[in-house]
Chains A and B, each alone.
Chain A
């Protein structure tokens, strides 16, 4: 078991090095003086310029420069924002809970609907229900979610006035951040109505961000289920005289979940992509909006550090999924 975990963790190292290498080179492509860009300061005097030049190793070979950068990253030093002069890492960790809260809600939403829909579609293969689920999920998969967000605002906020248009909570509440997750913090604060305000603000962004994963999960569950239902051991289960329900809910689902978990893991990347768009539409104060704002403010250290951190997060989640995969699939666990 330990060997299995260590093998999987060691496989991530080249990817990590690759991402840092990418971040390292990309920032050097930015037009303008790279030292000013890296330091997050503009118009610095020559003495400081020279000092920074040494610090970043610009007088040394490119490999040494990368080594210096990597050492800094490993120590958690990702530079500081040009605008706020705050360290990139602390800004990121301040905003990240908002993104996680949204992402978790979205994936739960997607699972809650996508799994049962995919299963039912597989069981009733080629029925009207099946065609309906597949049609809707392909539409969801093709959805430009930035437009989908606007349309939902148009319907629910403008037409029916049901949900708020932007932000995480009504301005009249001030919630002391304890966990950073508003759903928890509002409950802890005991401020009346704050929790529901947070929930109401979450609804539309959750739907928007959950749409594509929902479509993917429904399609994947269906095809995994169909494949499993054709396996020999399902025939054995039938030959044992088990009930249809038990065969599907136990023997088939347990095996069909294995590829579905993998897909959910891969959806984390898609989720962060979607978060960038969703947060922009709903002015959701998370890392996605922060990154886009950084682009328009030409805050390159934030862009470099933020993208690197998001990459690392996605990589870590993929690793976690890989490990879980080993846990629920005994074949993998024992073979490596």
Chain B
């Protein structure tokens, strides 16, 4: 980014000025309607998650068998008190979805945070120390990538035991290789550049080089990968929940809600439809955001 500003032409005889890098980024990003829509949805989901206690009309846990399987309010037999209907044991679906947003965001952020921290460190180490360390780390990542992601997650959870914590760890491990590869590739391209050589010549230590010089220069791809990673994490964690290996009932995790609702698919469409829709919209929003960020940050695609 600094290079761009430095190359700006002399101030004389301008008919137009090149835009500021941040403004340029926003220009590209906001031109992508999908990405903006994704951002808006994500902000909305975050707000819902933060304000769950205020927004939810009912408790997500309290059961009431007298109102079990009530349809949404616009259908006959539904009531506005339970706008999206109730589940087989009489819990308000809307309230459970609202609290579920908390869980899904938590899963997405925690999983990606774990992966980024461990992945970046492993990648930087592999890129800087090369040799056996690099071969060992990268081979391990290749193996993880070879295995179908959900299969690996399932096996890990099956061994560690089902639960939200273990499923988050499993998913974090499964998406780890992307960050390791990214960080390593960044190190290798960046270390060959002059500014790293300059820093090295002026006596900067390896650790300082890794974190102060190289890391800031691979943040753009990391941000993109993080956005896409959150969507994978939410999706995989929900799949584990659906298989009964993730968050356990009565947790209002969206995938787990679907697992509970499966047998009622023939009788009550709403218990199945809404949790899945929530997953789809949230995952789609993060993918849209990730795509938009990539297009806006990737200079190769700029025309």
The reply, when asked whether chain A contacts chain B directly with Cβ atoms under 8 A, is yes
B273 touches A276 (CB 8 A): no
Residues of A within 8 A of B280 (CB): 139, 142-144, 147
The CA-CA distance from A25 to B34 in the complex, in Å, is 45
What are the interface flags for B256-290 relative to A under an 8 Å C-beta threshold, 1 for contact and 0 otherwise? Answer: 00100010011001001101110110011001100
With beta carbons under 8 angstroms apart, the residue of B147, B255, B258 that contacts A19 is: B147
Q: Does A273 contact B (CB under 8 A)?
A: yes
Instruction: Return the chain A residue nearest B33 by Cβ.
Output: A131
A307 touches B291 (CB 8 A): no
Identify which of A85-93, A115-123, A288-296, A323-331 touches chain B: A288-296
Q: Does B94 contact A (CB under 8 A)?
A: no
CB distance from B84 to the nearest CB of A (A): 15
CB distance from A26 to the nearest CB of B (A): 5
Known contacts A146-B239, A269-B147: A138-B258 contact under CB 8 Å: no
With beta carbons under 8 angstroms apart, the residue of B140, B243, B266, B276 that contacts A292 is: B243
The CA-CA distance from A311 to B145 in the complex, in Å, is 10
What are the interface flags for A173-184 relative to B under an 8 Å C-beta threshold, 1 for contact and 0 otherwise? Answer: 000000000000
Q: How large is the interface on A (under 10, 10 to 19, 20 to 34, 35 or more residues)?
A: 35 or more
Known contacts A138-B34, A307-B155: A269-B149 contact under CB 8 Å: yes
The CA-CA distance from A269 to B151 in the complex, in Å, is 9
The CA-CA distance from A119 to B161 in the complex, in Å, is 45
Known contacts A146-B242, A153-B265: A19-B146 contact under CB 8 Å: yes
The CA-CA distance from A322 to B273 in the complex, in Å, is 40
A138 touches B291 (CB 8 A): yes
Residues of A within 8 A of B262 (CB): 150, 281
Known contacts A307-B155, A310-B148: A142-B242 contact under CB 8 Å: no
Residues of A within 8 A of B265 (CB): 150, 153-154, 158
The CA-CA distance from A258 to B235 in the complex, in Å, is 29
A138 touches B288 (CB 8 A): yes
Residues of A within 8 A of B223 (CB): none
Q: Does B231 contact A (CB under 8 A)?
A: yes
The CA-CA distance from A216 to B272 in the complex, in Å, is 26
Known contacts A18-B139, A144-B280, A146-B258: A138-B287 contact under CB 8 Å: yes
With beta carbons under 8 angstroms apart, the residue of A141, A142, A295, A315 that contacts B245 is: A295
Residues of A within 8 A of B245 (CB): 295
Known contacts A15-B143, A146-B258, A269-B149: A139-B154 contact under CB 8 Å: no
With beta carbons under 8 angstroms apart, the residue of B140, B158, B272, B284 that contacts A154 is: B272
B149 touches A144 (CB 8 A): no
With beta carbons under 8 angstroms apart, the residue of A144, A150, A277, A291 that contacts B283 is: A144
Q: Does A47 contact B (CB under 8 A)?
A: no
CB distance from B85 to the nearest CB of A (A): 15
With beta carbons under 8 angstroms apart, the residue of A30, A31, A151 that contacts B272 is: A151
Residues of A within 8 A of B159 (CB): 26-27, 29-30
Residues of A within 8 A of B140 (CB): 18
Known contacts A135-B34, A154-B272: A15-B158 contact under CB 8 Å: no
Known contacts A277-B242, A280-B243, A314-B147: A147-B279 contact under CB 8 Å: yes
CB distance from A40 to the nearest CB of B (A): 16
With beta carbons under 8 angstroms apart, the residue of B142, B148, B150 that contacts A314 is: B148
Q: Does B156 contact A (CB under 8 A)?
A: yes
Residues of A within 8 A of B139 (CB): 14-15, 18
The CA-CA distance from A150 to B259 in the complex, in Å, is 11
The CA-CA distance from A307 to B149 in the complex, in Å, is 12
A273 touches B151 (CB 8 A): yes
Q: Does B50 contact A (CB under 8 A)?
A: no
Residues of B within 8 A of A143 (CB): 280
Known contacts A29-B159, A30-B159, A150-B265: A141-B287 contact under CB 8 Å: yes
Instruction: Return the chain A residue nearest B160 by Cβ.
Output: A29
CB distance from B138 to the nearest CB of A (A): 10
Residues of A within 8 A of B269 (CB): 154, 158
CB distance from B290 to the nearest CB of A (A): 10
Q: Does A270 contact B (CB under 8 A)?
A: yes
Residues of B within 8 A of A69 (CB): none
A residues 29-53 near B (Cβ < 8 Å) are 29-31
Q: Does A242 contact B (CB under 8 A)?
A: no
Instruction: Return the chain B residue nearest A165 by Cβ.
Output: B266
Residues of A within 8 A of B276 (CB): 144, 146-148, 150-151
CB distance from B180 to the nearest CB of A (A): 15
Query: Which of B155, B245, B279 has the most A CB atoms < 10 Å from its CB?
Result: B155
A residues 274-310 near B (Cβ < 8 Å) are 276-277, 280-281, 291-292, 295-296, 303, 307, 310
The CA-CA distance from A233 to B161 in the complex, in Å, is 56
A150 touches B258 (CB 8 A): yes
Known contacts A19-B146, A158-B265, A270-B148: A150-B272 contact under CB 8 Å: yes
Instruction: Return the chain B residue nearest A139 by Cβ.
Output: B284
Q: Does A22 contact B (CB under 8 A)?
A: yes
Q: Does B88 contact A (CB under 8 A)?
A: no
CB distance from A134 to the nearest CB of B (A): 8
Residues of A within 8 A of B266 (CB): 158
Top 6 nearest A-B pairs (CB, nearest first) are A147-B276, A18-B143, A273-B150, A142-B284, A273-B148, A142-B283
What would be 22 A-B contacts, judged by CB atoms less than 8 Å apart? A15-B139, A15-B142, A15-B143, A18-B139, A26-B156, A142-B280, A143-B280, A144-B242, A144-B280, A146-B238, A146-B276, A154-B269, A269-B147, A271-B148, A272-B151, A276-B150, A276-B243, A280-B243, A310-B148, A311-B147, A311-B148, A311-B151
Apart from A26-B155, A295-B158, what are 16 other A-B pairs with CB-CB below 8 Å?
A15-B146, A18-B142, A143-B280, A144-B235, A146-B255, A147-B276, A147-B280, A150-B262, A154-B269, A270-B148, A281-B262, A307-B155, A311-B148, A311-B151, A314-B146, A314-B147
